[in-house]
Chain A
Amino acid sequence: MTAPGADAEPTAAPPTLSVGLAVGLGGLAAAFLAAGTPLAGAVALVGIALLGASLSAGSVRLCAAAGATLAGAVVAAAATAAPPAPVVGGAVLGVAAWDVADHGLGLAAHVGRETTTRRNELVHAAVSLAVGGAAGAVAFGGFLAAGGGQPATALVLLLFGGVVLLAALRG
């Protein structure tokens, strides 16, 4: 005997648009990093696989692991002396991919898959990409303006970046 009044409960799965966007952005990030060095691309691919798994399993923890793996891909790029441009692009797209995936999981918990969430997802993805793109452009612009690796300016830029980072972390 079962209790009656079963609600048409929404399934707690991330909306398909978010899944598609996250995996697409992640694939692009992997492509950028692979253009840097093959090792970075390979690690990034593992990260995308984890991201996909987290979305299909609905697990926020797995999604965080995917984010960590994407950061690992950037570390791998640094260790294998990848050129800066693809690494910056890969970082922007990687953070955006993780953000969209995590947002999708949040939507899954709150409203479920059957709900109309298109506008919400697109706005979030656009904001995320805009923030990352702007940050990447400013950083890369600064790097180019510094003339590509003069020791003194690079150090100043590095320190500046560190200060910004710390200020942001405190906020």
Chain B
Amino acid sequence: MLGLFRLAVRNALRHKLRTGLTVLGIIVATMAFGLLRTVVDAWYAGADATSANRLVTRNAISLMFDLPLSYRNKIRQAEGVESVSYANWFGGIYIDEKNFFPQFAIDAASYLDLYPEYILSEEEKRAFMRDRQGAIAGRKLAEEYGWKVGDIIPIRGTIYAGNWSFVLRGIYRGADKKTDQTQFFFHWDNLNETVKKREPNRADKVGVYIVSIRDSGRAAEISKEIDAVFANSLAETLTETEKAFQLGFVAMTEAIVIAIEIVSIVIIGIIMAVMANTMAMSARERVREYATMKALGFGPRHLVVLIFAESLTISLSAALAGIALIFPAADFFASKVGTLFPVFNVSEQTLWMAFAAATCIGVVAAVFPAWRAATGSITKGLGSIG
């Protein structure tokens, strides 16, 4: 078999330009496939980074509507609830509208307890807790805008009108690669006090409650219990797992995700046709050689192995190069899109999918030529009738 693999590799390198162009095509396709899959993963990154022990309670009508601050204690009383925190989406503009990043007013102490994946030094945490004007930002966000601890961050309010300024008291890092490090947090009390002065009727309102539960297996039951408490009230609630809450955002842009997924599959389909054409041309040119091998005693099985080995040599060697290039391509892409995708990591699953796609390309491209070589007549192949 080793001798056959040697022949397969030599055959693969026989038409250098043709093989080279095919390899180049597979490299580009694998890289594009990996990049697009990473974009899809980035879309779901928020949902992937969630905890099964956290629920989110929001206004049942829409996220646009707030909930009263008084709900906190009632939620806390529900069976199985460990602790409750809350946050408001701020939606401000930093210098220019293009500088988008998520900003939340949070109940700092309880919120940071609920999100241990946001890691702050004790010193920074104390500084943030002490300063009502204080804020913390993720590492990627701070790097993006060149912020340092102590900087004043001016933000123009949109949902909450007026000019706001915060003192950066800490830069958090993520506990793992999945953690979103592009967020900006400041004190809910700061927001509420200012709102009380400017728009008193919007004071003491909370965007979402984050509920920590002891047993993730009881999430549905606890959610129901919380929502039942506020049934028939002026602000009914909808409680769901943090993952379901995040997937709700993804669903709003699902058409884009589906389009990206389709494009990634189409790319593989196109390169599969290119590779199949390469293999079909090669096999057609070697009809006499395959017939000679059969005359020498090589069976159909040997020819199938030979052709599959050649096809897989081309597709997998190109795929390995393409996979290696996914990483720099993803880094380049991430640097260009800034904080649009908070988490943009090439996953192991993406690499395996790219490898599987390349294997599939190699196998599919070899099927027809192998079948023809295995079943073809020796005498016709040798051209020796008469």
Do A and B actually bind?
no
* Chain B residues near A (Cβ < 8 Å): none
